[in-house]
Amino acid sequence: MRMAAYCRVSTEKEEQLSSLENQREFFEQYADKEGDTLVKIYADEGISGKSMNKREAFTQLLEDSQTGAFDYVAVKDISRFARNTSDFLYGIRTLRSNGVDVRFLSNNQTVIGESEFVLTVFAALAQEESSNLSKRVIFGKRQNAKKGRVPNVVYGYNKIDTYTLEINEQESYIVQLMFKWYIEGEGTRRIAIKLNEMAIPTKKQAKWIPKTIRRILQNPIYIGKIINNKSVTKDFLSGTREAIPPEEWYIHERPELRIISDDDFELVQQKIKERQEQYKNDNPGNRFSNRHLFSNLIKCGECGKSFTAKVYQWKNRYVRYRCCVHNNNGNAHCTNSVTVDEQELLNEVKSYLLTAIEDKKAFAQAFQDGARQSINEAQAIVKTVEIRQTLEKVLPFASMSYIAQHYFGRTRQ
């Protein structure tokens, strides 16, 4: 008979991967003993058996069972197949509906159960074992949290042991740069871009993203405070976590770990809060994003939310804007399916400004000075009615000062 095998280890630690090799050897020996042909071994490495999420090999096994590629699947024990009873039954029923038998083998290489009832009992026991293991892990983490456990990986520091960190001089300098840039007005996205352009990697040697920058800016470890016990696993099967009230947090003062001053840290938290409020209110011109030319300047006529940009790369790079609500949720939430091409919009705005402004140098200088009061001076140069009124026909809620700066003064920072 044609045999397929499935094996899994829950972590990528060396001893677990060694166990994976042992499982593979086990199946080869079993196939030889039975006189069967081992068609393929499906192996998930570093994946939990509590759910089917990210279990690519397991999913592929179920898909391949539809093609008749093998007659039965051998699994060393039920806990390797699944630690979630519902996923276990789904996998069993899928394979059997495709005419594929499943064999769960004990250490002496015998079938330990064939009826669904017996297998379900074993699956329930495996799930309970996983639940108890999760409880023991949570208890251990909580005890370590009380003692001041430090993060496994945190940018700016080197981990010495469970409770000790030391400052990494090179990384701490980059942390200081992040706080400095943010205070000076740079957003998290722009900071990530700058670091990537400087070829400075993250702790895990990856590219920087805004989310990573934001986590660093909000982490009190940089002012010498380690805060543990902020959340706990609510459901070990889904992995969902539940926030713990601040009064139950474990706060450990570690002045030797300070990289940022209290004043700078508080100023950054204040700026983050202000920018979050700007996003929440969704007022035109107040959003801090500057990733694309018309970011936050185009509003949907149907739902009032911002148009978001999407970059396309085919022969040449081009950008188009669509309503974020329609784009993310479809017609049920917003029926506006209009797509705005950035270059076409750019040409319309530029064409009007070139004809509406008599003294372009004076107009550009008025904005380049950087003072708000110079807007009135620039508007006085316009030969017809106020530019903003006309621009509304082309670009609703446009930021007049921005358009003028981009085309006739300094480029937007």
Structure tokens at 214: 């934001």
| Average predicted confidence (pLDDT) for the chain | 76
**CB within 8 Å of 200: residues ≥ 6 apart:** 174, 208
Between residues 399 and 324, which one has the greater pLDDT? 324
pLDDT tens profile 150-206: 888 899 999 998 888 899 999 999 999 999 999 988 889 889 999 999 999 999 999
- pLDDT at 393 exceeding the cut of 60: no
pLDDT in tens, 330-352: 777 788 888 888 888 888 888 88
- What pLDDT score was predicted for residue 46? 64
Question: Where do we find the tokens 């919009």?
Answer: 345
**Whether residue 394 has pLDDT greater than 70:** no
Contacts for 319 with CB less than 8 Å, ≥ 6 apart: 292, 293, 309, 310, 311, 312, 341, 342, 343
The continuous run of DSSP H or E covering 58 comes out as: helix 56-64
Where is pLDDT greater, at 165 or 140? 165
Which residue did the predictor score with more confidence, 348 or 390?
Answer: 348
Residue 137, both tokens: 């892990």
Question: How far, in Å, are 320, 338, 339 from residue 312 at the CA level?
Answer: 8, 17, 13
Q: Distance (Å, rounded) from C-alpha 224 to C-alpha 256? A: 7
| Distance of alpha carbon 266 from alpha carbon 46, whole angstroms | 39
Which residue matches tokens 């570093």?
46
φ/ψ region of 46 (left if φ > 0, alpha if ψ in -120 to 50, else beta) reads left
Q: What is the arithmetic mean of pLDDT over 349-367?
A: 75
3-state secondary structure of 386: coil
| pLDDT tens profile 272-305 | 998 887 666 554 444 455 567 777 778 888 888 8
Could you give the CA distance from residue 116 to residue 256 in angstroms, rounded to a whole number? Answer: 59
Q: In this predicted structure, which of 199-208, 246-255, 396-405 has the lowest mean pLDDT? A: 396-405
Share of the chain above pLDDT 70, in %: 67
φ/ψ (deg, to 5) at 73 = -115, 130
Residue indicated by tokens 């397929």 = 4
Q: At 251, is the pLDDT very low, low, confident or very high (cuts 50, 70, 90)?
A: confident
CA distance 306 to 3: 55
pLDDT at 385 over 80: no
Global pTM reads: 0.46
Look at residue 395 and tell me whether its pLDDT is greater than 60.
Answer: no
Looking at the predicted structure, is the pLDDT value of residue 17 above 90? no
The pLDDT, as a whole number, for residue 357 is: 75
Radius of gyration of the chain (CA): 30
pLDDT computed for residue 266 by the predictor: 95
Mean pLDDT confidence for 206-233? 88
**pLDDT score recorded for residue 223:** 93
230 has pLDDT over 90: no
> Is a pLDDT exceeding 60 seen at residue 378?
no
Strands 164-167 and 157-161, by their bridges, are antiparallel
Contact present, 342 and 319 (Cβ < 8 Å): yes
387: pLDDT confidence band, cut at 50, 70 and 90? very low
Q: Residues 97-128: pLDDT tens digits? A: 898 888 888 655 444 445 566 666 666 666 66
Looking at residue 375, its pLDDT comes to 43
